Amino acid sequence: MLGRLNHVAIAVPNVADAARVYRDTFGMGAKVSRPVRQPDQGVTTVFVELPNTKIELIEPLGPNSPIDKFLQRHKAGAIHHVCYEVEDIVAARDHMRALGATITGNGEPTIGAHGKPVIFLHPRDFNGTLIELEQV
Ligand code: CO
């Protein structure tokens, strides 16, 4: 069911500082995007294009960001989720649900940071790892 690793998301207290590390320290230059505010997601994102996947740096945006509590527990930042590609998000959702996995929110796919439909699987079912599935 799972396709490629689309991205690894890292929650950070300051996305501009985190982007600078990838742009300058790691020398990724133009492979590091500008910060993009995503009010619907409650985050500001920067993407880093690697040869085989992406890194998604996410900073809380607005008062009720879904990553606020996570960053309170991990003040310096931490890996927040991994995103795998799937061909059919509804089929993947129904499959996971039938196996007893918990889909976060109301279970309906939402439009993620890349403009594609996504769902999130609760970490309790996956060894403590929040998993995003994205239809590509
Ligand atoms: Co993501």
Domain assignment of residue 32, given as a range: 5-135
- The pLDDT score that the predictor gives to residue 98 is 97
In the set 56, 59, 132, 134, the catalytic residue is 132
* Regions of the chain short of the pLDDT cut 50: none
- The pLDDT score that the predictor gives to residue 68 is 95
Which residues contact residue 62 at a Cβ distance below 8 angstroms, ignoring those fewer than 6 apart?
A: 39, 42
CATH number of 104's domain: 3.10.180.10
> Are the C-beta atoms of residues 101 and 121 closer than 8 Å to each other?
yes
Q: What is the pLDDT of residues 19-33, one digit of tens each?
A: 999 999 999 999 999
2/67 Cα distance (integer angstroms): 25
Number of domains in the chain: 1
Which DSSP string do the residues of 47-74 spell out, in sequence order? EEE-SS-EEEEEEE-STT-TTHHHHHHS
Dist. CA 8 → ligand 1 center (Å) = 7
- The pLDDT score that the predictor gives to residue 3 is 97
132 annotated active-site: yes
Closest CA to 33 of 50, 19, 14, 18: 19
95/113 Cα distance (integer angstroms): 23
Dist. CA 7 → ligand 1 center (Å) = 7
- The pLDDT score that the predictor gives to residue 118 is 96
Dist. CA 114 → ligand 1 center (Å) = 9
Closest CA to 54 of 24, 84, 74: 84
Paired sense of beta strands 54-60 and 43-49, if any: antiparallel
Sign of CA dihedral 133, 112, 57, 43: negative
Q: Quote the tokens at residue 41.
A: 């997601």
Q: How far is CA 32 from CA 6, 23, 28, in A?
A: 16, 6, 6
Q: Phi and psi for 86 in degrees, rounded to 5?
A: -135, 155
Dist. CA 99 → ligand 1 center (Å) = 23
Dist. CA 122 → ligand 1 center (Å) = 14
pTM, full prediction: 0.94
